[in-house]
Amino acid sequence: MQEGERLPFSGSEQRRMSRGDDLHHENSITNDDQEKSDAQEIIKLEKPRLRNCKIDRIYQFGDSISDTGNCIREPLCQSHSDCGSHPYGINFYQNATGRCSDGMIMIDFIALESGLPLLNPYKDRSANFRHGVNFAVAGCTGISAEIMAENKIFNTAFTNSSLTVQLDWMSSHFETTCTIGKLKKSLFLVGEIGGNEFNYGLLQGKTIEELRRMVPTVVQTIIHGVKRVIDFGATRIIVPGNFPIGCVPIFLTRFMTDNSNAYDEYHCLKDLNNFSIFFNNHLQQAIDEMKKKHPNITLIYGDYYNAYMWLLQNAVRFALECGLPILNPSMEENANFSHGENFAVSGATALSIESLAKKKIHVIHK
């Protein structure tokens, strides 16, 4: 986003969404009458900036970054997911739709900026799919359950809806809707996917070296998925890479260390971020090779890594520009935490008291 560029919604429009005001009724996103959805009401408020691309449909494959309600329609996945209940969805018309977010997710913004309604999940059999389908399932992996088992990694999200399964859903959908041959103006997002196998592996004790050996298999699975959508007639494809997982709170907590050299200037774990870079480099190389084989296809690598880092680097500036209030201390009773909390403590140290004691350093609070 360039400096001075507006967010997709004005301040008043964002407040309407966060309050859950009745643009229509609460459950309109999942109704059959997609033509009168909240999404279309929002589209009227701003001129979609991707309209010139003339995208008529969007097809999304992926995991929790993109899921708009498939996981909560799989019994096992739903039983191990919190994304179907509040606080998820509290800023999405007070409606938990299965998005693993308090509000909208990236594919929602892409759809709106393309002048299209929000994508319905494939598992919602009563939904309208005239403008595309979301096949993403929270917690899924790129590689199959069989390959996961071979690598002795367990999917703790309890879903076997890997990329291959999602592609099979796509095939069935196209065959039943006679969509084949009508995809030249469609946008396909193959991912972000292929990150959860590494997440599960790390949390289950796999070393980074063990996970590096899995990278070629995961990348080839993604590229095979790209080939399948091309074979169906796709001409516009985005393949996102992985995020800097060394900046993700769950890993910062799990792999916390007193070794200051393990962290970069943004307090992200360098080894984990280097692994993400390793994976992304392999994915980009494979995409470049695919582009040589299909010169008439628009095939783009989605650089989520640097997009995330850019936001992290500019976090303070964004907070000021967005007019966010000063954060209340987390220990203050009855305070307003709707815009965040301040966990900082005067005199606190990065190292634990035990670690400081071993170094014979005593903390003195004045």
Please report the pLDDT score of residue 161 as a whole number: 98
> What residue spans define the domains of the chain?
11-324, 330-366
> 303-314: string of b/e by CB count within 10 Å (b at 16+)?
ebbebbbeeeee
Is the pTM higher than 0.85? The answer reads: no
Q: How many residues in the chain?
A: 366
Please report the pLDDT score of residue 33 as a whole number: 46
Question: First CA to last CA across the chain, in angstroms?
Answer: 44
Task: Tell me the C-alpha distance between 161 and 145, whole Å.
Answer: 9
Please report the pLDDT score of residue 359 as a whole number: 57
Q: Return the H-helix or E-strand segment holding 191.
A: none
pLDDT in tens, the chain (366 residues): 343 333 333 333 333 333 333 333 333 334 444 434 554 555 454 677 888 999 999 999 999 999 999 999 999 999 999 999 999 999 888 889 999 999 999 999 999 999 999 999 999 999 999 999 999 999 999 999 999 999 999 999 999 999 999 999 999 999 999 887 889 999 999 999 999 999 999 999 999 999 999 999 999 999 999 999 999 999 999 999 999 999 999 999 999 999 999 999 999 999 999 999 999 999 999 999 999 999 999 999 999 999 999 999 998 888 767 776 666 666 666 767 666 665 655 555 555 666 656 655 655 544
Please report the pLDDT score of residue 322 as a whole number: 73
Please report the pLDDT score of residue 364 as a whole number: 52
Burial class of residue 128 in the structure, from the number of CB atoms within 10 Å of its CB (0-12 exposed, 13-18 middle, 19+ buried): middle
Task: Tell me the C-alpha distance between 158 and 93, whole Å.
Answer: 28
**Which residue matches tokens 């480099």?**
281
Identify whether 244 is preceded by a cis peptide bond (ω within 30 of 0): no
> 155-168: string of b/e by CB count within 10 Å (b at 16+)?
bebbbbbbbbbbbe
Q: Are 17 and 11 in contact (CB under 8 A)?
A: no
**Which residue matches tokens 């009227």?**
44
Q: Are 126 and 33 in contact (CB under 8 A)?
A: no
Q: Measure Cα distances from 56 to 50, 129, 186, 227, 315 in Å.
A: 11, 11, 6, 21, 34
Dihedral of CA 77/242/311/29: which sign? negative
Domain 11-324 coded CATH 3.30.2310 = no
Q: Are strands 298-302 and 186-190 parallel, antiparallel or unpaired?
A: unpaired
